[in-house]
Structure formats: C-alpha cells, structure tokens
Amino acid sequence: MLKRMCTAKIANAYITKAELHYEGSCGIDAGVLEASGILPYEMVLIANVTNGRRFETYTIPEPAGSGAFCLYGGAAHMGAPGDEIIIMAYGYLNEGEVAKFKAPKVVRLAAKNKLP
C-alpha cells in the first residue's frame, strides 16, 4: 500500500504578486525551489496562513534570488501580495520507504523570502 507523505515544505513565504490573467500556477524563486527539493512543475498544496484558504497548483521557477512568490491565473483569487503562505509537496511512499522516512525537507525563509 502506498501512503501519501509530505516530502517538502517552504514556510514563512509571503506572496509578492498575484496576476489573474495568466494560465495558472505558483511562481517560486528557483533558489528556494532547489533548496526545498521541490521541482519545477511539481504539484503542491498551498496554505494561506493569512486568510485560511488551501489550494493545489503547480510550481514554475522565478529568477533565483528574487524572493518571488507569485500566484497566477485562478490561484490569484486565493491570496494577495503580503499574505503569508506555506507550500507543501507530497510523494507516494511504499511501506519500506515509509519505515525509513524521517520528516519532510523544511525550508524556513528569512525576511523578504530569502534563504537563511
């Protein structure tokens, strides 16, 4: 049996842009994506700490070092610039992998969405 486990999390992120007229996704600073182990175009769950909304979308890389966390398309209705968000990625692990799994990779951002 496969279990769906949280494999990576980006915490203390703040939305920098919300653009409705776009095909949809969440743009994330490529350096932060790399540090978290979340891949470009990977499906993620986003929890908006500010307004309580949760939604699923996929990631697209923004320029490394930019601190960008952008909601595009329909996702732009789920948050506004300045809202705090948590991004979580999931993976399906078999029983052997679950037994060895310790915890998700967690990246807690510093001020202005920068890596610590």
* Lookup: tokens for 40: 């470009």
d(CA 113, CA 69): 8
- Annotated catalytic residues are 25, 58
Q: Which of 8, 11, 12, 15 is nearest to 69 (CA)?
A: 15
Stretch (H or E) spanning 30: helix 30-36
Question: What is the torsional sign of CA 106, 22, 54, 94?
Answer: negative
